[in-house]
Amino acid sequence: MIVGTTPGVYALALVGDALYAATQDQRTFETCLIGIPHREGAPPSLLWRGRGLTCLKGTSDRLLFQVSGDEPGRIYSLTPPDASVTALQGTVDGMPDVQFAVSGERIIFFGRQSTGKLELRQATLAGQASPIVAIGANTSFAAICADRAHVYWQEGEQIRRAPIQGGAATDVATTAGAAMSLSSDDHHLYFTDTGADWGPEDGSLLRIPVGGGAPEVVADRLDNPHDLITDGHSVYWIEADSVIGCRKNPLGAPRVLSADLPGSSRMVLHGDHLYVACIDDGTIRRIAAR
């Protein structure tokens, strides 16, 4: 079901029951944050206009987004419905074009020291920042997620874990390619692997126990799986313009929930429905999660 048509939509976020979208004009590259109305036929509301929005997250009461414009990597907080925007002071040295994670009142992001060395940092919503763990100077990142106690990220070919309160990082898994998405629940960390050659059937979805252990294959022969979401019942991902779901416990067979989603890029889960941004035709679609 199409719930909105917004040209250039490429990211979604929820604040409570309200749905928000990031759009980009393909001619001017202007980026907008808009509210998607519940009432059919009502126009979207403009909340913010700028350039270079690279990551969008929603919490219970606000939107968090990162930009790569005048202050690359800065993370902003926007509180609907008055759309007041606050620049989080502790995130000024964040890395643009790299995802960040949210855990309760904390934002976890990658930052760069004045020496050029990288580190994983946390900032409160009040903007106070502190380091979690140091990282190498020349490192590539693909994905990050956090639960209540730990943050997980890909560093090179390793998926690593560190306590949010600070401490040593440990390797928990190795990938053949890039882990384009990570998602955790109380029992497992789920991660995608593109495969070394990034071929149309080289991808896979795996999981490991959060306490450590051998990886378990959830699904394989996948075409660039990304945008993982987990809930109490299933794990969901986007693959080749389709949304796939798979029961977690006991592990079930993957099932196509919806196909022919042109340019499906990001999705969010609300109750028993997934909302999917389809950049090719500018639609936002709602599909049943089960």
Q: What's the pLDDT tens digit per position in 180-239? A: 899 999 899 999 998 888 888 889 999 999 888 899 999 999 998 999 999 999 999 999
Residue 289: predicted pLDDT: 94
What is the C-alpha to C-alpha distance for residues 98 and 158, in angstroms, rounded to an integer? 17
Residue 290: predicted pLDDT: 84
Strand partners, 108: 101, 122
34 phi and psi angles, rounded to 5 deg: -130, 155
**11-26 residue pLDDT tens:** 999 998 999 999 998 8
Q: How much is the pTM?
A: 0.91
Note the Cα 20 to chain centre separation in Å.
Answer: 14
Residue 110: pLDDT band with limits 50, 70, 90: confident
Closest to 141 measured CA to CA, from 107, 108, 102, 105:
108
Q: What percent of the chain has pLDDT over 70?
A: 92
